[in-house]
Amino acid sequence: MTKTIYPGQTIGIIGGGQLGRMMALAAKEAGFKIAVLDPSMESPCGQVADIRIVAPYNDETALEELAEVSDVITYEFENIDYEGLKRLTEIAYVPQGAELVRITQNRITEKAEIRKANVPVAEYIIATSPLELNAQIDEIGFPSIVKTAFGGYDGKGQVMLHNKEDLPLADPLFEHGACVAEAYVPFTKEISVIVQRNGNGETYCLPVGENIHKHHILHETIVPARVSDIILTQATEAAQQIADHLQLVGTLAVEMFVLEDDTIVINELAPRPHNSGHYSIEGCTISQFHQHIRAICGWPLRKPALFQPTVMVNVLGEHVVPLSKAILKYPNWSIHLYGKDEAKTKRKMGHVTILTDDINKTLKEIKHSGIWSE
Buried b / exposed e along 91-113 (16+ C-beta atoms within 10 A): ebbbbbbbbbbbbbbbbeebbeb
Buried b / exposed e along 161-195 (16+ C-beta atoms within 10 A): beeeeebeebeebbeeebbbbbbbbebebbbbbbb
Site mask for ligand ADP (CB under 6 A), range 74-113, x = bound = ----------------------------------------
Site mask for ligand ADP (CB under 6 A), range 129-168, x = bound = ----------------x-x----xxxx-------------
Minimal distance, residue 268 CB to ligand ADP, in Å? 5
Alpha-carbon span 261 to 324, nearest angstrom: 43
Pair type for strands 189-197 and 203-205: antiparallel
Q: Supply the DSSP symbol for 96.
A: T
Per rule CB under 6 A, is residue 325 in the interface with ligand ADP? no
- Contact region for ligand ADP (CB under 6 A) — 134-142, 180-188, 224-232, 290-298? 180-188
CA quadruple 297, 301, 307, 310: dihedral sign:
positive
Figure out which of the listed residues 27, 185, 256, 281 binds ligand ADP, where binding follows CB under 6 A. 185
Sites for ligand ADP among residues 249-268 (CB under 6 A): 255, 267-268
Tell me, by CB under 5 A, how many residues bind Mg ion: 1
Minimal distance, residue 180 CB to ligand ADP, in Å? 9
3-state secondary structure (DSSP) of residue 128: coil
* Cα–Cα distances in angstroms (integers) from residue 249 to residues 152, 209, 294, 301, 349, in the given order: 24, 21, 11, 12, 28
177 contact, one of ligand ADP, Mg ion, none, CB 5-8 Å limit per kind: none
Minimal distance, residue 88 CB to ligand ADP, in Å? 25
Minimal distance, residue 339 CB to ligand ADP, in Å? 24
78 contact, one of Mg ion, ligand ADP, none, CB 5-8 Å limit per kind: none
Minimal distance, residue 206 CB to Mg ion, in Å? 17
182 contact, one of ligand ADP, Mg ion, none, CB 5-8 Å limit per kind: ligand ADP
Minimal distance, residue 290 CB to Mg ion, in Å? 24
Phi-psi bin for 289: left (phi > 0), alpha (psi -120 to 50), beta?
alpha
Per rule CB under 6 A, is residue 287 in the interface with ligand ADP? no
Residue numbers of the site for Mg ion (CB under 5 A)? 255
